Amino acid sequence: MGTQSYGHRVLVVDDSAFMRKAIPMLLANEPGLEVVGTARDGQDALDKIRQLQPDAVTLDIEMPVMDGLTALAKIMAMPDPRPVVIVCSTLTTKGSHEALKALRLGATDFITKDPQAIGGSQESFRSDLVGKLRAVLEHRPRRALGVVKTPLPIPTTKPVTLPKQAPTSFSLGSREFGLVLIGSSTGGPPILETVIKRLPQRFSAPVVVAQHMPALFTTSLATRLNEECQVRVEHADSSRPLERGVVYIVKGGMHGVIRRQGGYSLEITDRPTDALYKPSVDVLLGSAATPAGKDALGIVLTGMGADGAIGAKRLHECGGMILAQAAESCAVYGMPRATFEAGVTSAMLLPEQIGQALSRMAATGLRAA
C-alpha cells in the first residue's frame, strides 16, 4: 500500500485551452503541488472552487461569461479557508493596470504570461509560478492530495474580518530623517498605497521605492499612486536629483542607487547585473548607508525571499533606522522576517502605523537634505 502524499491543491482558470493545458503540465512534477482542475471563465471558476476546494487559484483576467476581476471579488467574499489567488496577466499596459486592480481587490500576487514564450522557453515562467505558489502557500496547512471534501457554499455577504494584532503605537521620536527608502515585493502595491496615502502634500523628505515588478507595472503603479495620493509620485526611469515631498518608484528591471553631492540624487542603473531582483531592495538600502547614514529611514514591506535584509543591516550599521511590516498584515512574511532576524529593526508595524509614523514627520518639521 502506497503512502498518502500531502500538499496544496491548485485550480487553473483561463479561457485559453492552450493555457489550461500548459500550466498543469508545468506543475505536474512539482512535489506538494497538485492541479485539481481547470476552469474556462469566472463563473466556471466559482463552481469549481465550491466543488474542488483548491488552496490556490491562478486566475486569468480577460474571460467570457464572467471576467477575472468580477470573479476575484466574489472569491474574496467567500469564507475562510478561501483560496489565495495569483492573477495571470498579459505583459501590456492594459494588463498591468488590471493586475494592480486585482491586487487591490485581494489577489496575493500576479504573474505575467506570454503564450508564445510559455510554448517555447518554459523554464522562467515555471520557476516564477512555482516560486510564487510556494511563497503564498507557505503557512497554509498541507492536506492529503487527491481528496475532495463536501463542497462549500458561496455566501452572499462578506465575512467579518478579525482584528489584527500589532503594537498599539509607535513614534519616530526626535529622530530627523532627510530620506525615506521603501522596499516591497509580493503583496506590496496595496500596502504602498496605504502608506503613501498617509503622506501630506508637503512631506518633509524624498521617498524612494523599490518594488519587485516589470517596468510596465512600475509605470502603472506610479501613475495610480500619483492619482490617488496627496504627494507627487514619479516613475524613476532615469537618474535625477531627489526633491523632498516627492515619491520615486524605481523602474522595474533597473536598480535605484542613492548618491550625494550636496543634496541626494537617485542613480538608475542596471548594475549589479547579477542581482536576483531588479530593482533590488538590498541595493537601494545598502547604497544609502554611506551617503545618508543616520539621515535615512529604511522600511521593508511584504515580499518573498530575503531581499532587503543585507542592505538594511548596512544602513543600520551606519546609523539609519529600519522599520518592517508586521507579520499578520503581510501577504508573504519573507522579506520583513529576514530583516527582523538580521537584528536591525526598530519596530514591526501594520501598514497604517507606518503611514501614521511617516505623516508625523511633516508635522514635526523634520528636515530634508
Q: Kindly list the catalytic residues.
A: 185, 212, 307
- Look up residue 332 and give its amino acid: V
Strand-by-strand arrangement of the 255-261 sheet: 240-241, 263-269, 255-261
**Alpha carbon distances (Å) from 125 to 63, 69, 305:** 21, 22, 18
β-strand pairing of 232-236 with 207-211: unpaired
Residues 6+ apart with CB under 8 A from 77: 154, 155, 157, 158, 159
Extended strands (E) in the chain: 6-13, 33-39, 56-60, 84-90, 109-113, 143-144, 179-184, 207-211, 232-236, 240-241, 246-250, 255-261, 263-269, 296-300, 321-325, 345-349
Instruction: Measure the CA–CA gap between 327 and 339, rounded to whole angstroms.
Output: 12
β-strand pairing of 6-13 with 143-144: antiparallel
